[in-house]
Amino acid sequence: MRTAFAIIGIVFAACVSYIGTAHYIGGMISSNMVAYERWLLSIEDVSVKHLSYERGLFNGVLTYDIALRPSRANPMRELFEEFIDADMPPEIKLAGRMDVRHGPWVGKFAAARTQIMAALPEEFRPYLPKYPGQAPWLKVDATVDWTGGLNADFSFVDYNGRIGSIDDIEAIQAVVEGVTGRARVMSATTRGSLEIFMPRLRIANQTTAVQLDSVRLSGALEQGAKEKVKGELSIQKTLIEDKNFLQTKISVGAIKLNTDAVREWPFIWSGLSSVVVNDIRFENNELRGGLSSLMFRADTTRKEGLLSSSATMEVGVSKISDINIPAFAVKMAIRNIAGEPINDILEAVESMAIYDTEKLTQLLLARLGRLGEHLIAAGPEFAFDRLALSVKAPDDIKLSFGVSVPSGTKFSYERMGDIADTLEGKFAFTASMSAIEELMTTALKIEIGSLEKAALKPEDQKTARERFLKVKDILSKQPMFRIDGDKLRMEAAAARGKLNINGNPVEPFEAGITLGQTFQEALAAASPPPPLVAAPPTRAVAPPAAGFWQPNAAASPAFGQISLKTDFDPDPWRVQLTAGGNDFLDGKLGVDCKGYIDAAQPDFVLDYSAGKYDLFFYAESDADTGLIIRTPDGNWVCNDDGLNRGLDPTAQILRPKSGKYGVWVAVIETPNTSPATLLISEANPDPQRRR
């Protein structure tokens, strides 16, 4: 008997406990719903029209009417509006009722549970002709745990077929498989998280197809003293095919996007965001290539009321056919920027649809003035902290510069020139000469169309080397650059209108002109020559002459003639010819008039219309050459080695006259011939003596 009473007592106690626990859980859920409503009401992007929970002993009914409407400060608002019909308010409505079971055990050791099977709205069926019958498009299994946290596991229906009506010629074929996810809201209703996984998505039309594999999205939101957001999107593989554009195929390895942000002001966030892409490859009917990696990173910090932000982009080694393109990196930064007035400006801009034009103009002007005061007083700085190429080694060509305003500078619209005078700047450049030569070799491969070849021909390698040596010679003669071993360096600093380069004071205007001329010369030396005046014909060496008093300048020239007017373009004008001959000049025409030529006819004739510039003739050849020139007034001008050009000759005609100039290019040492280039210019070929 006692045993029976004991069993009855245990059963009664268990029932009372079960009922009591169920009652407690019902009260906990009711309290949580009130807290959830307060939380939703605190979110600017959410509108709660109705949210109530009708509690029973072992079940309850949740009735809800909620709208999601991105605020003006939400960076996703513009994208959100693109997906919403323009004739409708920019919001998504969620309304209905939900049956909830609660008790000590309702599955998954939860305190409460509900399941949702969302049916596909009938108005969508014409656009999804392959939809699987009456299958729910969304399944949700939601539970409340013993701490009061809300968990929801959900899955979307698989779809394989057309998206679009029968009459829609732009309809696409889509494959969506295995999309699942989980959402969680903590009991304190200040933190929430979301995870979504999609094994495969493929979208295609008649010409283009895009496929994504293993797509994973996760995010977390925390509301406290400041709103915090974390998110990550990863895609394991992406494939894009375009049949219209040269049968192009693009494959991408892992893609990962991360963000970890804190809302500092309504329109300004601080934190870190990044995008990393690996192993990009492409090919079409004309080219193939790839990119090893791509990274973009933005980092914004707040210190008191000031913001500092940097943006970094790193592009790995890329390849087009057999041409390797160096990795490069860029990092830009702005520092000491007053955050509050910038937020005011952003808010004013977002208010353009609210205010009329006159009010908006007044508002912007007032806030811009306030922004200027705070901005200048804080001592802002703009800088390229890193602009680098990695040709043969990391950062073997690197540049950095920055401009700043001293802290405490007073702002005034009337005295903007005074602010400009306070600017301080810095500049640094380093490059390895071997990296510069490698870039010039790559440029030559592109120039001659050698993309499919791994190496240059010997003659092309020689051309690349000669161009590099010319560029190096130009830079070495410029005092604004320093060459230390393999390193080319330049450092500059500016403050209060004064400029120092490599520690030496210089005039800014003159330095700019000098640098411009230097880079122009270096670019010309590294570039292909302009079109030739005449192709070099092949001619035999004439038999030795019995003797002559002077060369025949009146004869028809062997390699053509040209008429040029002062300020001609291109400058220098180039002529390919063959230097030398069997007729020896013994210096009777002048001390420098020597070497072997063909005296029977000039190599070239220039008909020149003179101006305010001197006229220069110079030649380039592998042989030791000289110049012999007959001027319009009958005088002879000759040169063997001149103007710091080694064995190549240069002849300068001071205050030249208009008329015909007969020109011979002589071979100095032997009765022989050699290919040569005659150059005609109004600029001194000596880089130390520009016109």
- Ramachandran sector of residue 316 (left: φ over 0; alpha: ψ -120 to 50; beta: rest): beta
pLDDT on residue 286: 78
| Per-domain residue ranges of the chain | 1-104, 107-244, 431-526, 561-681
Q: How confident is residue 452, by pLDDT bands cut at 50, 70 and 90?
A: low
* Phi, psi angle pair for 253, to nearest 5°: -75, -140
pLDDT digits (tens, 9 = 90+) for 48-67: 887 777 777 677 777 878 77
CB 355 within 8 A of CB 485: no
Q: How confident is residue 630, by pLDDT bands cut at 50, 70 and 90?
A: very high
> Which residue, chain included where needed, has tokens 């990391």?
394
Q: pLDDT: is 618 or 352 the higher one?
A: 618
Q: What is the mean pLDDT of residues 629-641?
A: 87
pLDDT on residue 169: 65
pLDDT digits (tens, 9 = 90+) for 253-287: 999 999 999 999 888 899 999 999 999 998 888 78
Give the amino acid at 72.
R
pLDDT digits (tens, 9 = 90+) for 389-402: 898 888 889 999 99
Q: What is the mean pLDDT of residues 357-385?
A: 74
Give the CB-side neighbour count of residue 550, counting CA atoms within 13 A: 15
pLDDT at 593 over 80: yes
pLDDT at 44 over 80: no
User: With the CA atoms of 405, 409, 414 and 417 taken in that order, what torsion angle do they form, in degrees rounded to the nearest 10?
Assistant: -40
Q: pLDDT: is 596 or 408 the higher one?
A: 596
Mean pLDDT value across the chain: 80
Q: pLDDT: is 604 or 141 the higher one?
A: 604
d(CA 77, CA 84): 11
pLDDT at 660 over 90: yes
pLDDT at 542 over 60: no
Q: How confident is residue 19, by pLDDT bands cut at 50, 70 and 90?
A: low
pLDDT on residue 544: 39
pLDDT at 172 over 70: yes
d(CA 91, CA 69): 4
Q: pLDDT: is 357 or 452 the higher one?
A: 357
Single pTM value for the model: 0.63
pLDDT digits (tens, 9 = 90+) for 465-494: 888 888 888 888 888 888 888 899 999 998
CB 192 within 8 A of CB 183: yes
Specify whether domain 561-681 bears CATH 3.20.20.70.
no
pLDDT digits (tens, 9 = 90+) for 71-113: 655 555 554 554 444 444 456 666 767 777 776 655 566 777 7
pLDDT on residue 535: 38
Q: Which range is least confidently modeled, 270-279, 537-546, 551-560, 620-629?
A: 537-546
Helices (H), 527-639: none
Q: How confident is residue 507, by pLDDT bands cut at 50, 70 and 90?
A: confident
Q: What percent of the chain has pLDDT over 90?
A: 27
135: CB partners within 8 A, 6+ apart? 120, 157
d(CA 228, CA 284): 44
| DSSP 8-state code for residue 689 | S
- Ramachandran sector of residue 650 (left: φ over 0; alpha: ψ -120 to 50; beta: rest): beta
Highest mean pLDDT among 241-250, 445-454, 537-546: 241-250
